[in-house]
Structure 1
Amino acid sequence: MWKIPKQYSHFAFGAIQAGITCAVASAIASMQFVAEGTFVSHWVRAYLSSWAAMLPVVIVAAPFIHWLAKRITR
């Protein structure tokens, strides 16, 4: 199986985290289109645009969030 080198694990984490978060958020935002039968097309567009916007944010923010979580917990 193909694997990413461990030194790039934060990028993999960011991609997965952004993907899951955007999938859920865009599905919730697209629920109004279920009745029209256009949920999937709206969800895909919303997912792709939000994932493209969130991926850099998550990759940049994840190390700080990890550091902050360590600082505020025992």
Structure 2
Amino acid sequence: MIPRKYSQVLFALILSGLMSLMVSGIATLRAVGPVADFGALWISAWLTAWLFAFPLVLVIAPLARRAVESLVAKP
């Protein structure tokens, strides 16, 4: 098991991986259509997107949490 202190980093890794996978797949499909080498193009686009998405999620997630906290009613 992974120690709890790494939960925020693990969350960012999983979230950025899944979101960049989906978005790059949709963008690649729209750009090139259902071609024979679609899978290779998608994986290449996904890895590039994930390279940027992971550190961005690490930076942006705390800002988003603060924004949400300022917008919702206090208990």
Residue 57 (structure 2) aligns with? 58
The count of aligned residue pairs is: 71
Are residues 1:73 and 2:72 paired?
Answer: yes
Q: Is contact 1:22–1:47 with CA below 8 Å preserved after alignment?
A: yes
- Residue segments in structure 1 that go unaligned for 5+ positions in a row: none
Structure 2 length normalisation: TM-score? 0.85
Q: CA deviation at 1:73?
A: 1.0
In percent, how many aligned pairs have the same letter?
28
How large is the Cα RMSD of the aligned pairs?
1.1
Q: Structure 2: where are the runs of 5+ without partners?
A: none
Aligned to 1:16: 14
- Deviation of 1:33 (Å): 3.6
Q: How does 1:26-37 map to 2 (within 5 A)?
A: 26-31=24-29, 32-34=32-34, 36-37=35-36
**d(CA) in 1 for partners of 2:43 and 2:50?**
10
Superposed displacement of residue 37, structure 1: 1.0
